[in-house]
Amino acid sequence: MKRLFFLLALVLFFNNTFAQDSEDPGKGFGIPSKRGGIGFGNLKKFTGIRFNFKDKDVDKINGINTTIWTTKDESFQTGTVNGLSLGLPLAMGHDNQNGISIGALGVATRGSLTGINIGVLGAGAGDNVTGLNIGGLGIGSGGDLRGITIGGLGAGSGGSVVGFNFGGLGIGAGDDLSGFTIGGLGVGSGGNVNGITIGGLGVGAGEDINGFSFAVAGIGAGDHIRGVTIAGVGIGAGEEVKGITIAGVGIGSRKLTGLAVAAAVGGMDLKGIMIAPAWLRVGDRHKLDDGTWEVKEGTMTGLSISAYNRIKGEQRGVVFGVVNYAMRVKGVQFGLINIIKENPRGLRVLPIFNTKFGRGN
């Protein structure tokens, strides 16, 4: 009777095993089953510890998955691995990997990487990379890059980069870049740069820069710069620079608001405190096709300290300089030579002090 029950149990076990494996389990074998335990080969759906040379048409792996190489055809890189993915040398060959992914050379997926992702050379995904991401050379993502990202040479994303980001040479994002970001040479974004941003040489954004930004050379934005901005050479924005802005050589924008300190400062609409040891320039002029010049007037509101205050437009406030020039004034000029174009003859150029006299124009 005991032998009969043992034989019956053995038949039921193997019958259950082969019944489960009848749905194309893939090539290979497993102990005790092709569905779970310890597996060898390209088993498509497995739970436990699995070893395979090259993953192809995977469905779902839960547990520990170890691979050596990857398929050349991306269409075979399917399915999801949940748990620990080990690459000797490449941990790749799937749509998604969730958990811990470590590759002696690299880690990559066609879809998303989520969790702890470490590639000695690099790590990347066609979609999002999320979590703790470390690539000896670099980190790349076709979608968003989120979490703590460290790329030996650099890190880049076709979408947004969010979190703590370090790139030995640089960090780049096709969309927004937000958080604490350090790029050895530079930091760039096609959208906005938000947070604390440090670029060895430069920081650039296609739209706005918001927060604290520092660069040895220059900082530039297509639209606005807001916050505390410090650059060794220059700072510029297409629309407005606002906040505390300090540059070694120059600061320029159509609109400047706040405190601006640089050897030269220029724009169309300046409001606040401007300290420009070399010169301050407000307004602009362009040469027309007929050879004549068109003057575009600007305004300066607040306080300016510069060797040469040149205001093509209206001064509203106080300026200190060696030579001061304004077309119109609602305030005071102090300097060696003070010029106000709207004043009556005899009062247009005065030493020490000048202001608006008479009714004006």
CA dihedral sign of residues 54, 45, 97, 101: negative
- Please provide the average confidence, as pLDDT, over all residues in the chain: 91
Report phi then psi at 347, rounded to 5: -120, 5
290 or 247, greater pLDDT:
247
Task: Read off the pLDDT of residues 209-218 as tens digits, 9 standing for 90 and up.
Answer: 999 999 999 9
Task: Read off the pLDDT of residues 8-61 as tens digits, 9 standing for 90 and up.
Answer: 343 334 334 433 444 567 789 999 999 999 999 999 999 999 999 999 999 999
Which of the 8 DSSP states describes residue 344? P
In this prediction, residue 358 carries a pLDDT of 80
- Percent of the chain whose predicted confidence (pLDDT) is above 90: 83
Mean pLDDT on 333-357 = 96
Give 359's pLDDT tier (boundaries 50, 70, 90): low
Q: Which of 126, 127, 152 is nearest to 139 (CA)?
A: 152
**3-state SS, residue 201:** coil
In this prediction, residue 49 carries a pLDDT of 97
CB 102 within 8 A of CB 81: no
In this prediction, residue 360 carries a pLDDT of 47
Mean pLDDT on 74-81 = 92
Question: Per mean pLDDT, which range of 66-70, 256-260, 349-353 is the poorest?
Answer: 66-70
Q: Which residues contact 123 (CB under 8 A, 6 or more apart)?
A: 101, 103, 106, 107, 108, 113, 117, 129, 133, 134, 135, 139, 140
Task: Read off the pLDDT of residues 290-341 as tens digits, 9 standing for 90 and up.
Answer: 777 777 899 999 999 999 999 999 999 999 999 999 999 999 999 999 999 9
Q: Which of 103, 184, 105, 117 is nearest to 145 (CA)?
A: 117
Give 285's pLDDT tier (boundaries 50, 70, 90): confident
CB 33 within 8 A of CB 19: no
pTM of the model: 0.86
Task: Read off the pLDDT of residues 222-231 as tens digits, 9 standing for 90 and up.
Answer: 999 999 999 9
Return d(Cα 38, Cα 32) in angstroms, integer. Answer: 7
Tokens of 168: 């030995």
In this prediction, residue 226 carries a pLDDT of 98
What does the angle CA 147 – CA 149 – CA 151 come to, to the nearest 5 degrees? 170
**3-state SS, residue 159:** coil
In this prediction, residue 23 carries a pLDDT of 59
- In this predicted structure, the answer to whether residue 4 has a pLDDT above a threshold of 50 is no
Mean pLDDT on 104-118 = 95
